Amino acid sequence: DDDDFSDSESRDANARNAHAHDADASRDAVIMLIDASPAMFARDDAREGAQSAFEAAMRACFEFCRARVVVAPDDVVGVVAYNTSKSIGDASCAFERVCVVQRMDAPSASGALELSMFASEGGAEAFKARFGCLDLEDDGSTPATGVDLNQEDALTRGLWTGSHMLESA
């Protein structure tokens, strides 16, 4: 009879482990990478409300995260901006001109609300104040270090940051 009990326990444990594995398999991890170069902040009369491309991108991030709160609360979502004048991120994946706007985490109402601040009118200015924005003339050169950060380098560093974030998700 002890064997029957241990077999039953073993089957229950296996069923729990299989269910936990299935939950992880259905969970998505999403990184949204936003260009924060000066051209992205220019108003565009062709867009609704003369929105900038940056505002449109942040609006898309906000809408995505807001929907995930309800339809996929087990997913993890992160937002990264590149071409910023500040560099904000974890020590393990901090790159020049890259800011982690939202760390990888389950979608939440508070996270969506934070993104909505950058997607609304005046949001671009709030973003610039928090994460910085390059000058139009700035090519990213840093003569003191001899490092030239062109657009391709900035994108690469943004992608690396996203990759590191996904690895830790």
What's this model's pTM, rounded to 2 decimal places? 0.75
Tell whether 14 is covered by a domain: no
pLDDT tens digits for range 32-41: 999 999 888 8
Contacts of 29 (CB under 8 A, 6+ apart): 75, 76, 77, 104, 166, 169
pLDDT tens digits for range 113-127: 999 999 888 889 999
Contacts of 17 (CB under 8 A, 6+ apart): none
The domain total for the chain is 1
Tell whether 38 is covered by a domain: yes
What integer pLDDT is reported at residue 130 of this predicted model? 92
Instruction: Write out the two tokens for 71.
Output: 């339809």
pLDDT tens digits for range 87-99: 887 766 678 889 9
Alpha helices in 42-89 (DSSP H): 53-71
Tell whether 138 is covered by a domain: yes
Tell whether 8 is covered by a domain: no
Q: Please, which pLDDT band fits residue 145 given cuts at 50, 70 and 90?
A: very low
pLDDT mean over 132-153: 61
**Structural domain boundaries enclosing 143:** 28-167
For the domain that residue 67 is a member of, what is the CATH number?
3.40.50.410
pLDDT tens digits for range 55-84: 999 999 999 999 999 999 899 999 999 998
In this structure, of 116-120, 126-130, 149-153, the range with the lowest mean pLDDT score is: 149-153
Tell whether 159 is covered by a domain: yes
Contact between 62 and 116 under an 8 Å Cβ cutoff? The reply is yes
What integer pLDDT is reported at residue 146 of this predicted model? 45
pLDDT mean over 137-162: 69
Tell whether 22 is covered by a domain: no
What integer pLDDT is reported at residue 4 of this predicted model? 57
Tell whether 18 is covered by a domain: no
Cα 150 from Cα 97, distance rounded (Å): 11
Tell whether 6 is covered by a domain: no
